[in-house]
Chains A and B, each alone.
Chain A
Amino acid sequence: MAEEAQKEKSMILQKEMISSLFSDLSRAKELGKKVCYTFIPGNLSELIRTFDMLPVYPEINALQSAMRKKSAAYIKEAERNAHSEDVCTYVKCDVGMLMKGNLGPTGEKIPDPDVLLLSYTGCFTFLKWFETLKREYPDAKVIMVHTPYQENGEMTPEMTEYMVKQFKEEVIPQMEEVTGIKYDEAKLQRHLVLSAEAEDLINKIFQTTKHKPSPIDAYFAGVYYIGPINIGFRGTQQAVDYYKELYSEIQERIRLGLGPITPEGEMKEEKYRLVVEGPPNWTSFREFWKIFYDIGAVIVASSYTKVGGVYDLGWRHDPERPLEALAEYCMNCYTNMNLPQRIDLLKKCIVDYEADGYVTNSIKSCNSFSAGQLGMMREIEDSLEVPVGFIESDLVDPRYFSYSNIKNRLESYFQMLDQRKKMELEEV
C-alpha cells in the first residue's frame, strides 16, 4: 500500500507539471508569455525559461495524439495534402493536427508560435519540419541553431565556439527582440544549476536497473520518466523535486526487492534483461509493452531515453560556462553521436546492466535512428556475442504496427534467449 501511494506521488507530480504547462499555454496571451515551438533533442529549455517563454514540443503533440488514437486521422489529412507516405510520421501527425485546429491533449487550442526555435540536433527532418511550419506561421520568428554532429566522436572547442557564437549573435538577440526581455545570464545560470541536479538524479534513476530484479523498466516506463526533463522542466525546482521523489520511490522498491510496475501491476518474475535501441511505437504502446512484461522481459537500458540528452557518461550542464554548456548539451544528444559512439554506448549498457539480449525496434519513418541500425546490431552481436532481436514498427502511424508480426518475432527471440540461458546453465 505504502508503495502504491509513493508511486502515485511522482506520477501526480508529473501530471500536475504537464497540465500546468498546457494550462499556461492556453492562457499564454493573458499571461503575456511568448510561445516557443522547439524540439526535444537539443532543447534549450533553460534559455527558453530565461526569456520567460512557454515551450511547445511538436513531437510530444504527435505522440500524445497517437496515444489518444488520433494520429491516423491526422496523418491521413497530411497525406491528402501532398505529404508522402514514406516520411517521418511525427511531421505528418503534427501537420494534420494543425490542419484540424491544433487542439492539444486538454482539448484546448495550442497557441500559435511566436518563435520557431530550431536547435536542430541529430535529425535533418527537424529542419524540414520547421520549413513546413514556417509556411503555416509566416509571422513566427525562426531562430536556427546549427548543432555540429559528433562526426569524430568528440565535441571539439571549434564546434562549441561555433555554437556559442550562434547563441550570442543570433539566438539571444532574437529572443530579446521577440520577448522584450533582456538576457540575464545569472538567471540562466540558476536554471543550469537545477538542470545539473535533475541530470544527476535521472542518471541515478536509470542506474538502478543494475539491481536484480530491476526495479524499473528503462524503456516503457522510462519514456514517462524522461518527460519532465525533456519537455521544458529541465532547469526548474519542480523537475528536481519530481526526480527526488521518483528516486526515493525506486529506492523503496529496491529495498523491498520489487520488480518494475506495469499497467497490469507489478512484474512478478524478471526472466530476461534487455537493452532496446530505437523509439517505441506509440499507437499501440500498451500492447507493445505487454508482449514484454507478459513474458518477464524487462528493459534495463534504452537508447530512446537518451534522445533528449546523454547523462550516463558524466556530462552535465555547467553553470560556470553557461553558453558552452548549452552548446555541449545539444551536441551530446544520442542521435547527434556518430555510429561508433552509439555502438559503444549500447555495448556499455549491455555490459554494465548485465543484459541478456539486445533488441532493435526499427522505426519505418525515422532515418535518424533507423539508418545504420542493422550495422550497429551486427557489430554488437559479433563483439559481445549477445543474442539480438529485430522488430519493425512506426512511431505514430498505426498502419505500420503489426501486432502479430511483432509478437511472433519477439516470441521466437525469447525462445532463443531461453535456449541460450539453458546452455549457459549447462556449461556452469
Chain B
Amino acid sequence: MKSLDSIISECRANAYDLNFSRAREWKEEEEGRVLVGYMPIYFPREIIHAAGAMPVGIFGGGDDKQIIKGDAYYQSYICHIPRSIIEIALDKHLDHVDGFIFPSICDVIRNLSGIFKQQKIGKFVKYMDFPQNFLPEIGGVFYQQEMSHVLKYIKEINGKDVTTEALNHSIELYNRNRQLIETIYNVRQDFPWRLTIDEVYCIVRAGTVIPVEEHNELLEQVCTHISEDIGDPQDKIKVVVSGAFCEQPASGLIKAIEEAGCYVVDDDYMLGSRMILGDIDASTSHPLQAISTAYIKQSQYSSSIYDVHDPKENRLAKIVKDRGADGVIFAAASFCDPSLLDAPIFQNAFDKMGIRYIAFQYSENINQYKVIKEQVGAFSDSIKLWEDEPAIPAIEDKIK
C-alpha cells in the first residue's frame, strides 16, 4: 500500500496536469484507444468507459495557465473557464483527446461547444442536452437517445459496439468509485482533520483524468489510511461550500477556507463525480435506462437542473443538517449565472431557516485570497461566539 502522502502528491499532480499526461499514456498503451473530454458539471462516464474509451474531465486552466488567446474569445463579463478551456485547446494540450462533450449547464458552456465546432477541435463535439423533463418515459427516453449519440461517435472512431455486460461492468466500477468518495466524506464529517479538504479535492479530481480502475485502487487505500486515527483536531467550525460546481477555485483558495477556521465537510467542487446519489442498478438488461433513471431519480440538486419538484434550498439545508455543519459558504465563480442566480433563492430561504452563511465570488486564475480569508475567518469567529445557540433552529421543519 502506498503512503497517504504519496497518494496525495500523485493525485495532486494528476488533478492539475494540463497536459492530461496519464490519459495520454493510457491512450498510447494500446492501439485504437479513445479519449473523450467532458466539461463540467456531470457526464455519465460509465458509457464512455464501456465503449472502450476513457473520459477526461476538463475543468479549466486554473491559476497555472496564462490566458493570451482565450481573452480574444470572451468578453470581460463572462466567467473565466471558457477562455482557459479555449486556451488549453488552442495551445494543443488537448490534441490527444478525440472528442469533446459539453453538458447542458449554462449558455456559456453551450456556446463554447459552438466555438469548438467552428474551430473544428476534436473528431467530434457533442452538446449533451440533459433532460429537463423528469418523467422516465419522456425525459428518460430522450436522455438515452443523447447517450446513444455519444456512443455512436465513439464507435465511429474505434469501431466498437457496446455490450450490456460492458455497460453493467462500467456501472459497477463507477458505483464503487462514488461509494469510496462518499466514504471519505463520511469519515471527514466526523474527523475532518484526517485529510484536508484540499487533499480530498485533489484525490477526487484526479479521478476525472486517470482510469477509473486506478482511481478506485487509490481511493480504497485512502479509505484505509483515514480509518486510522490520524491528524490532530483543531478548533474550527464546520461548513458546507456550495456554488462552485463548474469553474474551480484555485487550490490556494480551497486551502484558505480551511486555514481561516472552517472545516469543509461537504462541497460541490467536483459535483459531477458525486452527482448520482447511491448506486445505479448494474444488473439490468437495459443499462442506459438504468443510468437515465438514476439521473432522473437520484441526482444531487444542481443549479442546472430545474428544481420545481424538489426545491434546492431544502436539499442543501438537509446536507447542512446531515453533516452537522454550522453554516454555508456560497462560493460562486465570478459571472457564473447559474450559481449567482441561485444565490437569492438559497439566501432568502436560509434567512428564514436560520442557517448562517456568507457569500463570495472567485475566479479560477486569481490566487490572492486575503479578503476572502478575512471574511471566512470572521464568519468562523462569529459562529464560535454563538456556539451556545442552536445553530439551525428552523431547518428541521423545512427539510422533513
Contacts and interface: CB of A to CB of B under 8 A. Distances in A.
Given A127-B306, A343-B118, A367-B107, A170 B337 contact: no
A390 to B, nearest CB: 9
B129 A379 contact: no
Interface in A134-148: 134-135, 142, 144, 146, 148
B369 interface: no
Nearest to A83: B344
Contact of B129 (A142, A149, A374): A149
Contacts of B15: none
Contacts of B117: 338-340
Contacts of B72: 374, 378
Contacts, number: 150
A339 B114 contact: yes
A154 interface: no
B340 A87 contact: yes
Most buried by A among B75, B108, B115, B342: B75
Interface stretch (B1-9, B130-138, B377-385): B130-138
Contacts of A392: 75
A373 B145 CA distance: 30
Given A343-B118, A367-B78, A367-B337, A162 B307 contact: no
Given A338-B127, A339-B111, A91 B341 contact: yes
Contacts of B111: 339, 367, 371-372
B345 interface: yes
A170 B341 contact: no
Contacts of B311: 135
A362 B361 CA distance: 23
A87 B118 contact: no
A124 B304 contact: yes
Contacts of B343: 82-84
A29 to B, nearest CB: 25
Contact of A375 (B106, B118, B127, B145): B118
A82 B346 CA distance: 10
A245 to B, nearest CB: 37
Most buried by B among A118, A148, A371: A371
A368 B115 CA distance: 14
Contacts of A342: 114
B338 interface: yes
Contact of A128 (B127, B129, B341, B361): B341
Contacts of A91: 341
B133 A166 contact: yes
B126 interface: yes
B44 to A, nearest CB: 17
Contacts of A84: 332, 340-341, 343, 361
A87 B341 contact: yes
Given A128-B337, A148-B129, A158-B142, A372 B114 contact: yes
What is the interface residue range for chain B against chain A?
Answer: 35 or more
A170 B113 contact: no
Interface string A331-344: 00000001110110
A172 interface: no
A330 to B, nearest CB: 13
Most buried by B among A86, A120, A169, A370: A86
A162 B138 contact: yes
A125 B304 CA distance: 10
B131 A146 contact: yes
A340 B308 contact: no
A50 interface: no
B112 interface: yes
Given A87-B340, A151-B113, A371 B108 contact: yes
B335 interface: yes
B74 interface: yes
Contacts of A142: 308
B375 interface: no
A88 B77 CA distance: 11
B292 interface: no
Contacts of A169: 135, 138
Most buried by B among A78, A124, A142, A374: A124
Contacts of A125: 107, 337, 341
Given A134-B308, A135-B345, A149 B107 contact: no
B114 A124 contact: no
Contacts of A83: 343-344
Interface string B72-107: 111101100010000000000000000000001111
A403 B255 CA distance: 44
Most buried by A among B126, B135, B138: B138
Nearest to B78: A371
A146 B340 contact: no
B334 interface: yes
A142 B133 CA distance: 12
Interface string B313-347: 00000000000000000001011011011111101
Contact of A339 (B115, B137, B138, B335): B115
Contacts of A123: 107
A87 B344 CA distance: 12
A375 B115 contact: yes
A149 B132 contact: no
A375 B105 CA distance: 20
B348 interface: yes
B139 interface: yes
A372 B115 contact: yes
B24 interface: no
A20 interface: no
Contacts of A86: 77, 334-335, 340
B110 interface: yes
Interface in B37-51: none
Given A166-B138, A371-B108, A375-B73, A82 B347 contact: yes
A169 B74 CA distance: 40
Nearest to A120: B132
B126 A131 contact: no
A117 to B, nearest CB: 12
Given A132-B341, A135-B311, A367-B111, 15 more contacts: A88-B337, A123-B107, A124-B105, A124-B337, A127-B306, A128-B338, A131-B307, A131-B308, A131-B341, A340-B114, A340-B118, A367-B337, A368-B107, A373-B75, A374-B74
Interface of B: 72-75, 77-78, 82, 104-108, 110-115, 117-119, 126-127, 129, 131-133, 135, 137-139, 141-142, 145, 303-304, 306-308, 311, 332, 334-335, 337-338, 340-345, 347-349, 361
29 contacts: A83-B343, A83-B344, A84-B340, A84-B341, A84-B361, A120-B132, A124-B107, A124-B338, A125-B107, A128-B341, A131-B345, A132-B341, A132-B344, A135-B349, A144-B132, A149-B104, A162-B145, A166-B133, A340-B114, A340-B117, A365-B77, A370-B75, A371-B78, A371-B82, A371-B110, A372-B111, A373-B75, A374-B72, A392-B75
Interface of A: 78, 81-84, 86-88, 91, 118, 120, 123-125, 127-129, 131-132, 134-135, 142, 144, 146, 148-149, 151, 158, 162, 165-166, 169-170, 338-340, 342-343, 362, 364-365, 367-368, 370-375, 378-379, 392
Interchain residue pairs A-B with the least CB separation, the first 8: A339-B114, A151-B127, A372-B111, A128-B341, A146-B132, A82-B344, A84-B340, A367-B107
